[in-house]
Amino acid sequence: MKRLIPIISSFIVAMSLQPTLYAQGGLEQRISELSQQIASEMTIHQKTTIAIIEFSDLEGNVTNFGRFLAEELITKLYQTKKFKVIERQLLNKVMEEHVLSLTGVIDTESAMELGKILGVDAICSGTITELAQNLRVNARIIDTETGEIFAVASTNIFKDESVIGLMSSGTGIGSGKTRKELPKKASVSSVQKVEANGFTFELVECKMLGTTVICDVLVTNDHEDRKIALYGSGVYGGSNRSGSRMILNTGNEYKADLAKLGSKHSRGFWPSENLLVNGVPTKAVLEFKNVTPKPTVIALLELSCKSEDYFTAQFRNISITR
């Protein structure tokens, strides 16, 4: 029995030190294992260029740990000397300029467009889920030609003090934009009014029916009677102009499938055009179809119009009702 006491004591001490020992070596080891999984899948599928998206939580929020994880994977994949890896700041700049999805789970359309812009044949994105003692990291490797996932990788990371600190700081919507950097006056609203080109646009409501977002706007002509055109998905003959669009707080952009002004409907690049009598509000409706997953806030709603010339009317931070 006396011989067992030192053994038992050593075992107890070892068990008490296990979280500390795991924390010291675990993070580096787990990220290395994750990068090795990704590198292996890249090699198997003959992919040579890759962009790493900042990892987010399940709600699309990116913390400093999600950014740290992306930086580490970039470094480790570059060190293999097998792949061309896009620098993170360049990636974020391109995503912002082209209004692509900024969350950790990138959508198919954005993945394909990003592949064309950057010349990469694979994109790695993923999520971080907090569990009791660990973080579960799930990575998805996407083929930029098809927008489909061709491989996955995963690991568990112990939540030591440094990891907890990174997880609790820098929470934002991705690409270095934290919620602290958002304008303080940007409160979420469902009713707004803007003036543009002598017209008053009053946003009545944006609601979601199934997978379609419908926005109702009242348009009032503040000058003498004149015509105004409202464009849907595009502008005929205007290659440098965009049709009416909606950008969600996730960064996903949708073009208007339908633009209605009074009794007139848009068709393709042809707008709905109507004569607006001075001071008489006319109802305009914009419909955006196949919107998934269900959004709660529209970051930007932009109406593309033409009277004497092209102009836009913009609403920001709009709550969506159901």
For residue 287, give its domain range.
Answer: 192-319
Question: Could you tell me which residues come within 8 angstroms of residue 275 by beta carbon, excluding any fewer than 6 positions away?
Answer: 225, 226, 227
The predicted structure's pLDDT at residue 69 = 93
Instruction: Give 3's pLDDT tier (boundaries 50, 70, 90).
Output: low
> Are both 164 and 84 inside the same structural domain?
yes
Domain C-terminal end among 146, 181, 216: 181
> Are both 26 and 142 inside the same structural domain?
yes
- Residue 212: inside a domain: yes
> Are both 28 and 175 inside the same structural domain?
yes
> Are both 154 and 211 inside the same structural domain?
no
> Are both 86 and 31 inside the same structural domain?
yes
Number of compact structural domains in the chain: 2
- Residue 16: inside a domain: no
Question: Cα separation of 207 and 214, whole Å?
Answer: 5
- Residue 57: inside a domain: yes
> Are both 244 and 152 inside the same structural domain?
no
The answer to whether 110 touches 247, Cβ cutoff 8 Å, is no
CATH of the domain at 283: 2.60.40.10
User: Tell me: the pLDDT tens digits for 96-135?
Assistant: 666 565 555 677 777 888 888 888 999 998 999 999 889 9
User: Tell me: the pLDDT tens digits for 266-314?
Assistant: 876 788 999 999 999 999 999 999 998 788 889 999 999 999 899 999 9
> Are both 211 and 268 inside the same structural domain?
yes
Reported pTM? 0.49
- Residue 186: inside a domain: no
Segment 38-55 shows an average pLDDT of: 94
User: Tell me: the pLDDT tens digits for 5-35?
Assistant: 544 444 444 444 444 434 344 889 999 999 9
- Residue 9: inside a domain: no
